[in-house]
Structure 1
Amino acid sequence: MKATAPPAKRRRGPRLAVLALVLCSLLVPIAFLFNRFPAVYVTDERPQQEVTLPSFDRLVVERDRIVHQVPRQGGRDVNAETEVTQDVHGKNSKGNIDLHHQIDTEHKVKVLPPPKIEQVKPVPVPVPPRKDFSDNMRRPRVPSADELEKAKACQLEFGSYCLWSIEHKEVMKDAIVKKLKDQLFVARSYYPSIAKLKGKEALTRELKQNIQEHERVLSESIVDADLPSFIKKKIERMDRAIARAKSCTVDCNNVDKKLRQILHMTDDEAHFHMKQSAYLYNLGVHTMPKSHHCLNMRLTVEYFKSTTLDSDDSPVHKFNVPDHRHYVILSKNVLAASVVINSSVSSSEETRNVVFHVLTDAQNFYAMKHWFSRNAYRESAVNVINYEHIILENLPDFSMQQLYMPEEFRVFISSFERPTEKSRMEYLSVFSHSHFFIPEIFKDLKKVIVLDDDVIVQRDLSFLWNLDMGDKVNAAVKFCGLRLGQLRNLLGEAMYDPQSCAWMSGLNVINLEKWREYNVTENYLQLLEKFRNNDDEASLRAAALPISLLSFQNLVYPLDERLTLSGLGYQYGIEEKVIRTSASLHYNGNMKPWLELGIPNYRKYWKRFLARDERFMDECNVSP
């Protein structure tokens, strides 16, 4: 009799692997929703950053100035409690990157000292005189202290989403749904106490049944129009059940405890939904719209299909003439760059010697090139440059070859001397790492004006080319609400003047000859080694603020603050006459004018410089 082989064992490995994959696919989305969402997302638009700075629990009083002391970043306002935040992926428990850099005392950063120059007066701007509009940018109503704290806490966690949500808040008008929810809360608070009473079994069953019916109705109906026709009978039955429950002798402490528990659960649920809404908001403001992506793709395809537009007829001879007026724009957005150029040209009296250099990345290079080949801007010339390609050719040893847009930092201001005054949030924009290689890209030029792609020009800027900057390198609007002494935890042991003001990018006049003379790019590379903690992008972008401020120590020429009106990407309440009389408008902040989430009252000034006769815009349904 032959011995039979034992039955083969079933392989459990593949089954277990499949089961594990199924569980992961179910758990990952849940964990994603319940965990704190990241502060920024991969995008082709300008990134906003967040670096939370001083906490409220440790304060240091210095020269009548109250400044936070936490290893993050500095503040704003001489007599103000300040916070600077920057939207980046962080690695600490709060999702924010720690920017406290302990710089080795044996390797201090040495920035070449510029010559000592007398105080320079701000250059006058040829715009009609007007009154100080700082008060006009604030809402007339003075909020209460509780509202201030709630608004500050909301902005610290969710940023400019809070401003947008307040502006678009919808009042609940469905009275029947609201009454159902109120009845449900009261019934739930009484039910545990009634269930413990003897002889109240019928009332307990009635309450339980009414609670279940209300929950089922509310799960299917959000507004009054969705409610069933027999809802009035359910409301009446619940009213009678609640009245009977209130007539019973119960422990009030138990009812109060249950009501508080329901309140806390409701607050948690509301906060959860707010996190979801804020996530979608940030996704919307940091992601290129579908229509814009369509436009880029169509332009890129058309570029390779068309041979006539990519000819040698372009005025290449103008691109490197030092005596011409050269503007530099860093942008990945075709529409944004075209609006900046169109507004500048429309506001200029003479455009024959005007040249615009658009630095973009490899992904958008051909779309940009085809767009500006199709569109003419009076007599000016447009030179589209592939930034990544030219950096790879000229600076092959430089590791950061991708194009970085200007970095924006959120600044919160609240005064201890005037606690009832509304907390202010402003965006401070500074040069990105890509800006520091402009002199290497344009070696033949002596002076350029750098424009951000979220700026529009409303006045002729030709007077800036005759500006005598002396030995200064960067002509910019100063931001004296933030002084370097307030950033001592961020700047470490680097040499700087504590009373020196920060400055804003957006519209900057750059003297390239003085830039090269003072070796600003070399000093930037030295500072980069000190302030860059690791190789991740978050640390790199977070270092843009201290590096930009230190690189131009004593090298900033102050422009008149009326030259640029900033805040149109986050600040509500700016008066229309102030906007119309400003030489240029800066849409710094999350609510860019090309997004549907942009502030409607300000988008019209941007849209009037938008091309209207482009068939690709119609085909891609681009309607900012």
Structure 2
Amino acid sequence: MQPVTGKNTSNVNGKARTKAGPDESGGLCELKYGSYCIWHEENVEAMQDSMVKKLKDQLFVARAYFPSVAKMPTQNKLSVELKQNIQEFERVLSEITTDVDLPREIQKKSQRMEAAIAKAKSVTSDCNNVDKKLRQIFDLTEDEANFHMKQGAFLYQLAVQTIPKSLHCLSMRLTVEYFRDHSFDKELSEKYSDPTLRHYVLFSNNVIASSVVVNSTVMHAKDSLNQVFHVLTDGQNYYAMKLWYLKNTFKDAVVQVLNIEDLNPDYYDKATLSHLTLPVEFRVSFHTKDNAPVIHNHVSTFSHFHYLLPKIFRNLEKVVVLDEDVVVQKDLSALWSLNMGGKVIGAVQTCSVRMHQLRSYLDEHRFKKDSCSWMSGLNVIDLARWRDLHISKTYWKLVKEVSMKEGSALLASLLTFQDQIYPLDSRWVVSGLGHDYGLDIEGIKKAAVLHYNGNMKPWLELGIPKYKAYWKKFLSHDDQYLSECNVNR
């Protein structure tokens, strides 16, 4: 399982792809996570350092012709000329990588090299020698390209998994300020445990991400007076979170910050829950009957910590759970009047992944073949029903049984909530804003909740540009700490 900022990501049964939109060569763009041509469309810029690139091309060609010319006694003068040009270009390019640093006489050097190459091309030579040298150079270049591709993939994953400098700065500044000034402390609110109010639960280790969730929910609420938010975080981010929500107000809503490490409930495996984990995300793919690979939407599901909710909130009977990578665009009050018919959890289902398509992972476990998988992001939970059916106990038992399998968290969650899902209307949530470039903009505008599931979170530089605006407008642009840490950039 591969960790990602805010979530964990895993592939189940390989990769797959689909296509859409033309690329630069006239082919079709691969509409998938990491697609280069779609990224290029979004980030196209004028070519920089074109002269350096031209010099490299000339050096490549000169090296291909030089061995053949050097073997001809009659072309000794041309051989010397080519060698001198090659050595000069190698010296320049070993020291310089940008056009602005090139020497003034570089244009003349380029013209001399071009003339030498033209002479070499006009000389009758053994084409096999030229071809052989070109292939050698090509192989070396291909190896270099593969190296940079692997390096780029590594750096991409590093960027995804690493907290941006601005967010780290914010967390540190808030933590220091908390211990410097205790005047922010307030009395505990009775609302925290009042079952008659509307309680929202959020697991997060990201101050800004959690703030956007709370702010966007409150801004669109018809009545914020009865809203209570519970932000569960880890010890490292607890004091930063606490100060942020003490110094900021969100209309009439109240926010409780809890350190998950201090709760110490009686759970199944303390080693498994030693560190806060966020909703788990999977990219699921498999072959169709004609053996063609098919890509499916990312499936995100609960982390181990979600199964502690009935113990953490013993006085509550119903909560709405929001992931830290969502933005709320409409009033959610209708969720509290849902009649879920005795079901434990309300969730948007994704029927592109059904249980029978994961049968190789489910072994002897009984399951309904056509059952759809479900998504975290926006979930309504009947805690009373959860306790009656001992859902947490069932989950931990299944985790133990499938712990050695790929995607064990997904499989355990799917089996645990089998027959206990109340399907929410798909119009409640639009998912994929963290990986899918091809989402319908009108659909995004109409959705009640936007889910940025995927690697490209809106608070990262890697975030998909055209979706970032929906998230950024709920930042507190006038906040001193955000400004000093460049969070609003």
TM-score (norm 1): 0.72
Give the Å deviation of 1:220: 3.3
Which residue of the other structure, out of 466, 476, 483, is the alignment partner of 1:601?
466
2:319–2:380: 8 Å Cα contact kept in structure 1? yes
Please, which runs of 5 or more residues in structure 2 have no aligned partner?
Answer: none
Give the residue type in structure 2 aligned to 1:517.
D
Determine the C-alpha separation between the residues in 1 that align with 2:388 and 2:408: 24
CA deviation map 1:371-404 (0-9, x unaligned): 11111222222111111211x2544863223211
Match of 1:367 in 2: 240
Which residue of the other structure, out of 553, 578, 586, is the alignment partner of 2:451?
586
Determine the C-alpha separation between the residues in 2 that align with 1:282 and 1:435: 26
Match of 2:196 in 1: 323
1:414–1:424: 8 Å Cα contact kept in structure 2? no
Q: Secondary structure of the residue that 2:399 maps to in structure 1? A: helix
CA deviation map 1:60-102 (0-9, x unaligned): xxxxxxxxxxxxxxxxxxxxxx58xxxxxxxxxxxxxxxxxxx
Alignment of 1:47-86 (within 5 A): 47-51=7-11, 53-54=13-14, 82=16
CA deviation map 1:413-466 (0-9, x unaligned): 8989898xx975742211111111111211221111100011111111111111
Deviates more, 1:427-436 or 1:200-209: 200-209
Alignment of 1:164-175 (within 5 A): 164=39, 167-170=42-45, 172=47, 174-175=49-50
Q: Secondary structure of the residue that 2:13 maps to in structure 1? A: coil
Which residue of the other structure, out of 441, 451, 455, is the alignment partner of 2:312?
441
Give the Å deviation of 1:160: 6.7
Determine the C-alpha separation between the residues in 1 that align with 2:221 and 2:115: 76
Which residue of the other structure, out of 214, 218, 221, is the alignment partner of 1:345?
218
Determine the C-alpha separation between the residues in 2 that align with 1:40 and 1:439: 26
Determine the C-alpha separation between the residues in 2 that align with 1:550 and 1:568: 27
Determine the C-alpha separation between the residues in 2 that align with 1:52 and 1:266: 34
Deviates more, 1:585-594 or 1:192-201: 192-201
Give the Å deviation of 1:165: 5.7
Deviates more, 1:448-457 or 1:217-226: 217-226
Match of 1:254 in 2: 129
Q: Secondary structure of the residue that 1:184 maps to in structure 2? A: helix
Q: Secondary structure of the residue that 2:322 maps to in structure 1? A: strand
Deviates more, 1:321-330 or 1:255-264: 255-264
Deviates more, 1:377-386 or 1:326-335: 377-386
1:411–1:426: 8 Å Cα contact kept in structure 2? yes
Q: 1:360 to 1:556 in 2, by over 3 A?
A: same
Determine the C-alpha separation between the residues in 1 that align with 2:289 and 2:67: 47
Determine the C-alpha separation between the residues in 1 that align with 2:366 and 2:96: 63
Determine the C-alpha separation between the residues in 1 that align with 2:288 and 2:478: 50
Q: 1:307 to 1:396 in 2, by over 3 A?
A: farther
1:47–1:286: 8 Å Cα contact kept in structure 2? no
Match of 1:11 in 2: none
Is 1:547 the equivalent of 2:412? yes
1:49–1:542: 8 Å Cα contact kept in structure 2? no
1:340–1:457: 8 Å Cα contact kept in structure 2? yes
Match of 1:503 in 2: 374
Q: 1:144 to 1:164 in 2, by over 3 A?
A: closer
TM-score (norm 2): 0.90
Deviates more, 1:395-404 or 1:468-477: 395-404
Identity %: 50
Determine the C-alpha separation between the residues in 2 that align with 1:243 and 1:397: 73
Is 1:384 the equivalent of 2:257? yes
Say what the alpha-carbon RMSD is for the aligned residues. Answer: 3.1
Relative contact order: is structure 1 or structure 2 higher (C-alpha 8 Å, sep ≥ 6)?
Answer: 1
CA deviation map 1:223-275 (0-9, x unaligned): 44433222233223223322332333322122122212222322222232233
Match of 1:4 in 2: none
Alignment of 1:262-277 (within 5 A): 262-277=137-152
Give the Å deviation of 1:501: 1.0
Alignment of 1:225-624 (within 5 A): 225-312=100-187, 314-315=188-189, 317-390=190-263, 392-395=264-267, 398-399=270-271, 400-411=273-284, 426-533=297-404, 542-624=407-489
Please, which runs of 5 or more residues in structure 1 have no aligned partner?
Answer: 1-37, 56-81, 84-136, 534-538
Determine the C-alpha separation between the residues in 2 that align with 1:551 and 1:591: 29
Match of 1:46 in 2: 6
Determine the C-alpha separation between the residues in 2 that align with 1:427 and 1:468: 28
2:11–2:284: 8 Å Cα contact kept in structure 1? no
Q: Secondary structure of the residue that 2:184 maps to in structure 1? A: coil
Give the residue type in structure 2 aligned to 1:464.
L
Count of residue correspondences: 488
Give the Å deviation of 1:519: 1.5
Give the Å deviation of 1:520: 1.2
Q: 1:413 to 1:185 in 2, by over 3 A?
A: farther
1:48–1:590: 8 Å Cα contact kept in structure 2? no
Alignment of 1:153-192 (within 5 A): 159=34, 164=39, 167-170=42-45, 172=47, 174-192=49-67
1:565–1:579: 8 Å Cα contact kept in structure 2? yes
